[in-house]
Structure 1
């Protein structure tokens, strides 16, 4: 590579980015913006079909390239591109394409964007199901939020999903982690070296200058992609338990629920008489968030950090959530709203915040302080670039130190190669 040539980055996406539909896509777009500001040459490829809210990457100067699973045409594509860095968006893309990247571009830095630990989210979902099966009428869910890292590990370790996901992290040269809790879990429980991980939280481009005041806001808001299981569970919990308690004390208020890809089962919950409004996709999430007085996010399971709660801070909207919702988001800083572990406590906190202007304004200020303390792109963007360049400069030593990853690559890539060749031969026209 000549001294003046731009670093070439290939991003292999699980889906085409829809930043207005999901926090995961929003985070990926923030990373792409960091690359573009560095002057890097970015290509985005995905085997997925384009969704209705897909971002126009070409307008940003990013090449878009559809690719296919189990097709050797990808080999020719990646060899011709000769990327310096390959970013896999979610571990399934590393499983599918990692061996082809190594075969064609062994010197490319392999980076995994995790968004969250899917095996952690899955284990927590199973815990919730077991809790509901044993205590279907439970109000208090504190037991769900109590497990220490060792208990989370025990719930994850025997699952195929965890084995696949952790193996992919080992096979990559660096994995981008959005949650401090997940980094601690991986290092202390799963034994990954910190050298393989980089903390990269949500990075909003702009910090707020002014907020819509208390008196000009009304009602509650909940927002999130309905395809994301934690969001759908939160809607059901609000419908059945949390919202009726709020309406008892605030009979005139409404709850506005926005989410992309609203299924019929969600639309069926729409009930204006109860103040429960299912409103489909929000064209401008920050606009509707700024009009609401409180953001409700009663998440009973999940992983990573929550884009809806960061959006609430950006809009000066206090939020009421659970420990899993606030996990890894505020450190030692006060939460900009309230954290509770039961339907009754969530409802009580929401009503108190809704009515108490002084308490509400204090929560809003906590959000402003939290954004400055933890979510500045001008801090995390350069740190990401620096870490990637360090890894590229020391790639041989990094891979030598990661013997386990090299061993896993050897066995996974050989077996995957044979399987892909068999599938392609089987599908080839006679």
Structure 2
């Protein structure tokens, strides 16, 4: 029976040509021989990323079917071997295999996961019987297949036995390829710290990790542009358990071509990185499960900035980005949101997606923070390649800080963070404002200052600067945008204000009220420890990767 892959989601244009190859003869080695129209042949250049993702969706479905077929074949082979030893007690089981033969053949010829339910029941029976004789095999959660062009509902993820792995040390759970835009700048950006911490957890859990930088070696930004600058971050990855570091999409592609068939997971951050990686992984390593890590809801952040600036071009760019994010979520096996709110929002747009939450992670200092008595001044930290941080400090320094200086004439506002441009550096000319740049260890600054301010007017996701300050016991005054995503309550964990006068008033409360300061310091730190500490998030990562 021939395979016909005709339509991509939401498109009437055929992206993949019919193949006359019988499905029973398709294997993971020849899947890439199925002919398809590459994105380069598309007439509309603007549709290329989404077209690539639509192709990846179809390849993903075929990969799931092939994976299920191969796993069932392995289980059937094992069952027949067990039957030879337990011929008398398992005679009834052989009859069951014969009775289900037509179901299996129909499954091989089908493109619909709704046909999988009888086969899954058979697989459960096989595992139970084999488990009683040989010990139960390990299990991982199989991804949910979807056919977005037909608008079918998603199916709850079944438990399937893990595919056979190549010879590895007994302590190795499998291979993970982690891909991001650049090496994780864990000491300069909260997103880099989050990814580095997740990699730490993967290594501690026994996974063998390969890291890929989507940006090539000759285009690395900032400190990563020199061998000396890269060494600090490469060494940190190796200490986390990373065995190999790849630079650029071509080097990643070569790795997938040579060793992709051994790869269990691809964990890919950012939508534009996933746009390139999804077609590669689906074609080079069809059985690899793909995790798309949103990092934040980029389309939402851009839409908020467009509304603030009344910028129609940015509004259109936000819509395009949201379309790509939706397509990535459809094509991935699992999509990672940073907050529960963003998970809910994504599922409203892509109900067939499988979405989990992996938030920012905060390592709480062992020693309790010092009290309020000797503290002075206000503090902000953020990487200034991220435009919401530039807007935040400029708005605060120009519009709110002068109001505070009228009440507290000697008040100091210190701004830390890498990549400060002219707009941020110019704030140093304002009386009381100090721009101190990149600081490798912020501990003393968290202990020195009285209030952390998060005056973010747009953004998305979880604000690492807010969580990190609270983990160090430094109370926070934030805008509603700055406070979102962590389950924080105004007046219980931090103070929230949406306009200039209210923000100034909340800062003054913390400057003058020691009892309020102490209450927020203790409650905020406890909330981070309970919900966003390393131990709290470790279990979530384990659940995503199959426990």
Residue in 2 aligned with 1:81? 259
CA distance in 1, matches of 2:488, 2:351: 23
Q: Structure 1, residues 155-212: CA drift from partner, whole Å, max 9, x if none?
A: 8998111101111111111111111111111123x1334x611111122233554111
Residue in 1 aligned with 2:279? 99
Q: Structure 1, residues 326-358: CA drift from partner, whole Å, max 9, x if none?
A: 112125685433100101110111011111111
In the alignment, is the contact (CA less than 8 A) between 2:194 and 2:361 conserved in 1?
yes
In the alignment, is the contact (CA less than 8 A) between 1:334 and 1:366 conserved in 2?
no
Q: Aligned-pair distance for 1:124?
A: 0.5
Residue in 2 aligned with 1:184? 344
Q: Structure 1 runs of 4+ off > 4 angstroms?
A: 155-158, 331-335
CA distance in 1, matches of 2:537, 2:284: 31
1:229-244 aligned within 5 A? 229-244=387-402
CA distance 1:21–1:313, shift in 2 (3 Å): same
- Give aligned pairs, total: 363
SS in 2 for 1:88: strand
Q: Pick 1 or 2: higher relative contact order, CA cutoff 8 A, min separation 6.
A: 1
CA distance 1:30–1:256, shift in 2 (3 Å): same
Residue in 2 aligned with 1:358? 515
Q: Structure 1, residues 32-59: CA drift from partner, whole Å, max 9, x if none?
A: 0110110111111113216426523123
Residue in 1 aligned with 2:534? 377
1:299 pairs with 2:466: no
CA distance 1:313–1:74, shift in 2 (3 Å): closer
1:188-207 aligned within 5 A? 188=348, 190-193=349-352, 196-206=354-364
Normalized against structure 2, the TM-score is what? 0.63
In the alignment, is the contact (CA less than 8 A) between 1:112 and 1:172 conserved in 2?
yes
1:5-16 aligned within 5 A? 5-16=172-183
Normalized against structure 1, the TM-score is what? 0.79
Residue in 1 aligned with 2:3? none
CA distance 1:170–1:345, shift in 2 (3 Å): same
1:390-401 aligned within 5 A? none
Residue in 2 aligned with 1:122? 302
Residue in 2 aligned with 1:345? 502
Deviates more, 1:297-306 or 1:260-269: 260-269
1:280 is matched with which residue: 407, 421, 437? 437
2:293 is matched with which residue: 84, 103, 113? 113
Deviates more, 1:321-330 or 1:334-343: 334-343
Q: RMSD of the alignment, in Å? A: 2.2
Residue in 1 aligned with 2:478? 321
SS in 2 for 1:87: strand
CA distance 1:356–1:158, shift in 2 (3 Å): closer
1:62 pairs with 2:219: no
Q: Structure 1, residues 339-383: CA drift from partner, whole Å, max 9, x if none?
A: 001011101110111111111111111212211331132232122
Q: Aligned-pair distance for 1:65?
A: 2.5
CA distance in 1, matches of 2:490, 2:395: 28
1:259 pairs with 2:417: yes
In the alignment, is the contact (CA less than 8 A) between 2:458 and 2:481 conserved in 1?
yes
Residue in 1 aligned with 2:131? none
1:24 is matched with which residue: 152, 172, 191? 191
Residue in 2 aligned with 1:38? 205
In the alignment, is the contact (CA less than 8 A) between 2:209 and 2:244 conserved in 1?
no
CA distance 1:389–1:354, shift in 2 (3 Å): same
CA distance in 2, matches of 1:349, 1:371: 21
Say which one has the larger Rg.
Answer: 2
Residue in 2 aligned with 1:144? none
